[in-house]
């Protein structure tokens, strides 16, 4: 890969105009999370569904027009309260977690097989989840508020020539929260994660996994998946992937309890209580950062309105420039797209003609992937107007 100045990038991604109109006085995220819209999503863009409720679908308004898909734990028809739907993997049963992990593995392996060259393509997947207490009509709430994994591929050549993103873009800076973590919490954050008992995840220095094009991720704990793509077939990896999330949840709850009420009690559900006390609660930097955030919340009502008091995170598996598979995790304060953790801000625009050029190849790959998932007993095919019999059919007018 030729040298380039590392900087966050803004990419333009075209999509079709949504066939549904958002009713007046309804916030977009409220509409997207309605049972009616989610039923329509499955009918128009669903690829595969299984008996546990996991749905593989084509993103109608995606991030990449090279490869873009999601798996969602679709509880929308059983749990009508969107605030009552599961939003994190730790809320899944053992059986559900195994199936979700297997589905994730198959999609990720497919992408790495079809896009094998790290110099040519950036391949990644991940979750951007937040607690069900966050109001639906607040900025940054995911368009679909349930457990989901987003899979995508970008051409590195396209990223290299893309416009530079604004360094102050709230999705990159998390409205100042990211700077707080980088400037005051990075060391204690990294030390806290060093206590995890890991066999197949190998800790990396924070700078080691940065992408040459964007310079991201920044200041986050990162782990290389020892053995690469083959390790995705090992259940130990998925248990350790969940262990990383458990550690993050402990860190987040301990920090925001301190911010909220200067509470130094160890959360009852903590997975690592000794580490919370020994590493976090005895850290002066931890207390200094909490005090700074607490004072800002007390003085700035706009900033206070953006705080997510319950755990909100982004967790990724991505391939770096050296071809290594890397896991990383971050707090999620304002922006929710996992692309932003890698320094990519996506601007999505309605452009029927541009999307029509990319759509046949996107759908061809997704149907090929679906065939593989059916073979592995991960679900049954869904027929939609765009692929009624397993083949792409252009919309009327194309």
CB 155 within 8 A of CB 364: no
Look at residue 132 in the predicted model and tell me its pLDDT.
63
| Residue 91, domain member (yes or no) | yes
Rounded-to-integer distance, Cα 195 and Cα 279, Å: 10
| Residue 369, domain member (yes or no) | yes
pLDDT at 98 over 90: yes
Residues facing residue 155 across a β-bridge: 121
Higher-confidence residue of 22 and 164: namely: 164
Rounded-to-integer distance, Cα 261 and Cα 292, Å: 13
> Range with the lowest mean pLDDT among 17-31, 71-85, 189-203, 380-394?
17-31
Range of the domain at 67: 9-381
- Indicate the SS3 state at residue 327: strand
| Integer CA distances (angstroms), 312 to 82, 189, 200, 283, in order | 16, 16, 25, 23
Instruction: Give φ, ψ of 207 to 5 degrees.
Output: -85, -15
pLDDT at 82 over 90: no
Mean pLDDT over 285-292 rounds to 94
Rounded-to-integer distance, Cα 354 and Cα 352, Å: 6
| Residue 319, domain member (yes or no) | yes
In the chain, the number of structural domains is 1
Look at residue 130 in the predicted model and tell me its pLDDT.
66
Q: What percent of the chain has pLDDT over 70?
A: 91
CB 124 within 8 A of CB 326: no
Look at residue 189 in the predicted model and tell me its pLDDT.
86
pLDDT at 144 over 80: no
Q: What percent of the chain has pLDDT over 90?
A: 63
Q: What's the burial of 143, exposed, middle or buried (CB within 10 Å: 0-12/13-18/19+)?
A: middle
Mean pLDDT over 71-78 rounds to 92
Going by pLDDT thresholds of 50, 70 and 90, the confidence category of residue 27 is confident
Rounded-to-integer distance, Cα 367 and Cα 86, Å: 28
Mean pLDDT over 56-78 rounds to 93
Going by pLDDT thresholds of 50, 70 and 90, the confidence category of residue 166 is confident
| Residue 396, domain member (yes or no) | no
Going by pLDDT thresholds of 50, 70 and 90, the confidence category of residue 138 is low
CA of residue 326 relative to chain centroid, distance: 14
Strands, E, within the chain: which ranges? Answer: 9-15, 46-49, 54-58, 67-73, 121-130, 148-155, 163-164, 201-204, 222-225, 312-319, 325-331, 344-350, 380-381
Going by pLDDT thresholds of 50, 70 and 90, the confidence category of residue 173 is low
Going by pLDDT thresholds of 50, 70 and 90, the confidence category of residue 1 is very low
Token look-up 């102050």 returns: 168
pLDDT at 389 over 60: yes
Look at residue 277 in the predicted model and tell me its pLDDT.
96
Sign, CA torsion 337/342/347/349 = negative
pLDDT at 48 over 80: yes
| Residue 395, domain member (yes or no) | no
| Integer CA distances (angstroms), 279 to 132, 185, 272, in order | 28, 12, 11
| Residue 392, domain member (yes or no) | no
- Structural element, H or E, at residue 107: helix 94-114
| Residue 349, domain member (yes or no) | yes
| Residue 365, domain member (yes or no) | yes
Look at residue 337 in the predicted model and tell me its pLDDT.
75
Look at residue 275 in the predicted model and tell me its pLDDT.
95
Look at residue 141 in the predicted model and tell me its pLDDT.
63
């Amino acid at each position: 890969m030729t040298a380039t100045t590392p900087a966050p990038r803004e990419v333009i991604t075209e999509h079709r105009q949504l066939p549904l109109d958002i009713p007046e006085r309804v916030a977009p995220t409220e509409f997207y999370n309605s049972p009616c819209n989610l039923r329509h999503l499955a009918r128009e863009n669903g690829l595969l569904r299984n008996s546990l409720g996991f749905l593989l679908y084509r993103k109608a308004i995606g991030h990449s027009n090279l490869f873009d898909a999601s798996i969602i734990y679709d509880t929308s028809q059983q749990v009508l309260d969107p605030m009552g739907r599961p939003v994190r993997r730790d809320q899944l049963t053992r059986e559900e977690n195994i199936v979700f992990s297997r589905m994730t593995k198959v999609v990720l392996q497919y992408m790495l097989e079809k896009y094998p060259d790290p110099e040519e393509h950036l391949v990644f997947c991940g979750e951007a989840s937040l607690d069900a207490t966050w109001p639906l009509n607040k900025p940054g709430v995911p368009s679909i508020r349930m457990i989901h994994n987003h899979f995508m591929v970008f051409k590195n050549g396209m990223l290299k020539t893309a416009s530079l993103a604004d360094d102050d873009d709230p999705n990159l800076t998390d409205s100042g929260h990211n700077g707080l973590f980088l400037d005051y919490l990075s060391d204690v954050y990294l030390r806290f994660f060093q206590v995890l008992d890991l066999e197949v995840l190998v800790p990396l220095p924070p700078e080691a996994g940065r992408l040459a094009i964007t310079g991201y991720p920044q200041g986050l704990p990162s782990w290389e998946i020892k053995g690469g793509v083959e390790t995705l077939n090992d259940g130990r990896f998925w248990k350790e992937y969940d262990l990383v999330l458990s550690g993050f949840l402990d860190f987040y709850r301990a920090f925001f309890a301190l911010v909220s009420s200067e509470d130094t009690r160890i959360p009852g559900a903590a997975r690592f209580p000794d580490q919370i006390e020994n590493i976090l609660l005895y850290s002066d930097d931890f207390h200094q950062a909490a005090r700074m955030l607490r004072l800002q919340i007390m003085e700035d009502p706009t900033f206070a309105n953006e705080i997510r008091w319950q755990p909100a995170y982004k967790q990724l598996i991505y391939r770096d420039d050296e071809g290594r598979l890397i896991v990383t995790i971050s707090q999620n304060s304002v922006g929710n797209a996992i692309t932003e953790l890698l320094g990519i801000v996506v601007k999505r625009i309605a452009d029927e003609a541009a999307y029509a050029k990319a759509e046949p190849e996107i759908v061809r790959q997704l149907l090929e992937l679906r065939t593989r998932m059916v073979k592995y007993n991960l679900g049954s095919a869904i027929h939609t107007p765009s692929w009624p019999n397993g083949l792409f059919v252009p919309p009327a007018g194309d």
